[in-house]
């Protein structure tokens, strides 16, 4: 009975809605959709989709990024980065988590990817032919902790990992996985200390630490509240849009498989020899 209920509850994607035209955010346009995915427990959840487009139509065989929201931060507040990453040629899936806490539904990232692949294979009008083979997990703050756990648990499905102002939990065996990882954070982050982020990076066999000059913990989110700013206790030291643009150049390069050993404007790499 659970299987039948789950199948019925997992709705197909909604019609595409244009988010950005080609050249507005990047080389590709961006469209947004939404579908419902589910787990064997019978619970279902929404998944936002940001797709790259060309001439108004979704492009094919896109690398996939599953984005995991930070703790108690609505996933809509990360739509800006989902759209920017999609404009670079990636499909971005953003699952909803119970109470906006990924720790309460950690496997939803994998369930979202599985549902998207099933829709693609079944000839869905929106997603057919859009998903490439490569998939990366990306998470901010607590979302990075959960992303790491999923990366370890589902290494057959996720090869890439991007930690944003985050680091792996104690006890997670990241030392055993020799895959390239990007850890990126802000120089003014008052929530995830650079000391802790650096210590986390050193546990991976192959990780690059990128520090964005002038950026705080909540500069990665939209509509930051006064309470969040007060709790963090730090302020941005330069224009947030400029800092985000610098960060996105590094993220796009990592997602494209390009080496991160060059110079990037507004970025420091403190772990380089």
Query: In the chain, how long is the greatest CA-to-CA distance?
Result: 58
Residue at 161 is within a domain: yes
Instruction: Look up residue 91 and give its DSSP letter.
Output: E
Instruction: Look up residue 98 and give its DSSP letter.
Output: G
Q: How far apart are CA 18 and CA 143, in angstroms?
A: 27
Residue at 253 is within a domain: yes
The pTM (predicted TM-score) of the whole model is 0.95
Query: How high is the pLDDT of residue 12?
Result: 83
Residue at 147 is within a domain: yes
Domain coverage including residue 106: 2-268
36-61 pLDDT tens trace: 999 777 789 999 999 999 999 999 99
Average pLDDT over residues 198-207: 98
Asked whether the predicted pLDDT for residue 237 surpasses 70, the reply is: yes
Query: How high is the pLDDT of residue 7?
Result: 42
Q: Residue 261 corresponds to which tokens in the numbers above?
A: 């050993």
Asked whether the predicted pLDDT for residue 257 surpasses 80, the reply is: yes
CATH of the domain at 130: 3.40.50.1820
One DSSP character per residue, 27-60 reads: SSEEEEEEEEEE-TTS-EEEEEEEEEEETTEE-S
Residue at 263 is within a domain: yes
Residue at 201 is within a domain: yes
Asked whether the predicted pLDDT for residue 5 surpasses 60, the reply is: no
Asked whether the predicted pLDDT for residue 68 surpasses 80, the reply is: yes
Query: How high is the pLDDT of residue 10?
Result: 65
Domain count, the chain: 1
Residue at 273 is within a domain: no
Nearest to 246 by CA among 209, 215, 272: 215
Asked whether the predicted pLDDT for residue 3 surpasses 60, the reply is: no
- Element containing residue 181 per DSSP (H, E): strand 181-186
């Amino acid at each position: 009975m659970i299987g039948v209920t789950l199948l019925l509850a997992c709705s197909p994607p909604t019609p595409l809605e244009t988010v950005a035209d080609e050249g507005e955010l990047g080389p590709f346009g961006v469209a947004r959709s939404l579908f419902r995915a589910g787990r064997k427990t019978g619970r279902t959840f929404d998944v936002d989709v940001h797709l790259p487009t060309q001439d108004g139509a979704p492009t094919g065989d896109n690398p996939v990024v599953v984005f995991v929201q930070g703790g108690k931060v609505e996933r809509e507040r990360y739509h800006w980065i989902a759209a920017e990453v999609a404009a670079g040629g990636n499909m971005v899936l953003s699952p909803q988590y119970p109470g906006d806490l990924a720790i309460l539904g950690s496997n939803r990232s994998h369930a979202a990817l599985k549902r998207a692949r099933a829709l693609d294979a079944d000839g869905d009008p929106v997603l057919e032919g859009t998903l490439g083979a490569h998939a990366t997990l990306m998470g901010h703050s607590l979302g990075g902790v959960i992303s790491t756990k999923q990366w370890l648990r589902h290494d057959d499905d996720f090869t890439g990992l991007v930690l944003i102002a985050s680091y792996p939990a104690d006890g997670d065996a990241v030392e055993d996985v020799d895959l390239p990882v990007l850890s990126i954070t802000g120089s003014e982050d008052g929530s995830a200390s650079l000391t802790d982020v650096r210590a986390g990076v050193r546990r991976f066999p192959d990780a690059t630490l990128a520090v964005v000059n002038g950026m705080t913990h909540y500069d990665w989110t939209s509509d930051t509240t006064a309470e969040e700013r007060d709790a963090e206790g730090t302020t941005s030291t330069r224009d947030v849009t400029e800092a985000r643009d610098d960060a996105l150049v590094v993220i796009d390069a990592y997602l494209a498989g390009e080496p991160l050993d060059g110079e990037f404007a507004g970025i420091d790499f403190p772990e380089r020899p």
